């Protein structure tokens, strides 16, 4: 497997919203990315990155997986939306500034309609500090889907 491109080439997030740094590992049904909470991030609190931001880290791990699988096939990534998180649990209120987080996303299922789910977790020094099942949707026509939501 060839090394993946830089994370900036995989995800459209910019202006402080790109919270993951690079792809550590990936395969047809999973991706692992790294993140390091910053003291000057828009989310920063006295204790570091609030653990509620973990859902966004998980979403970016999923988006990285979708993008890297498309990249490996020479295709553009499909756009999708996060529908919700099931049973998000974090073991601490904050992720420490400067810590190295590992965010893993493993596809649990997907169907032909574009609905899917990923089992995700965040690890700090090898210990699980957050987990959730994230529900996602990749509509066949993203622009039409977004337009329908505005009505």
Which tens digits make up the pLDDT trace of 87-110? 999 999 999 999 999 999 999 999
For residue 148, is pLDDT > 80? Answer: yes
* Phi-psi category of residue 32: left, alpha or beta, with phi > 0 → left and psi -120 to 50 → alpha: beta
Residue 15 buriedness (CB in 10 A; 0-12 / 13-18 / 19+): exposed
List 131's β-bridge partners, or say none: 89, 121
More confident: 151 or 53: 53
State residue 120's pLDDT score. 98
State residue 1's pLDDT score. 66
State residue 105's pLDDT score. 98
The two three-digit tokens of residue 69, written as one number: 């699988």
Residue 82's closest CA among 51, 122, 124, 54?
54
Sequence ranges of the domains in the chain: 7-149
The answer to whether the pTM exceeds 0.75 is: yes
Looking at the structure, give the CATH architecture of the domain made up of residues 7-149.
Roll (3.10)
């Amino acid at each position: 497997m060839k090394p993946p491109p830089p994370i900036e080439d995989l995800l459209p997030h910019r202006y402080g919203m790109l919270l993951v740094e690079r792809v550590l590992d990936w395969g047809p049904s999973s991706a692992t990315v790294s993140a390091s909470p910053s003291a000057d991030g828009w989310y920063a609190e006295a204790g570091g990155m609030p653990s509620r931001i973990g859902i966004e880290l998980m979403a970016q791990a999923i988006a990285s997986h979708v993008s890297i699988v498309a990249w490996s096939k020479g295709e553009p990534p499909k756009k999708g939306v996060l529908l919700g998180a099931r049973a998000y649990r974090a073991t601490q209120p904050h992720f420490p500034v400067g810590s190295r987080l590992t965010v893993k996303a493993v596809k649990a299922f997907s169907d032909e309609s574009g609905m899917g789910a990923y089992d995700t977790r965040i690890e700090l020094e090898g210990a699980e500090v957050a987990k959730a099942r994230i529900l996602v949707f990749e509509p066949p026509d993203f622009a039409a889907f977004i337009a329908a939501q505005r009505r």
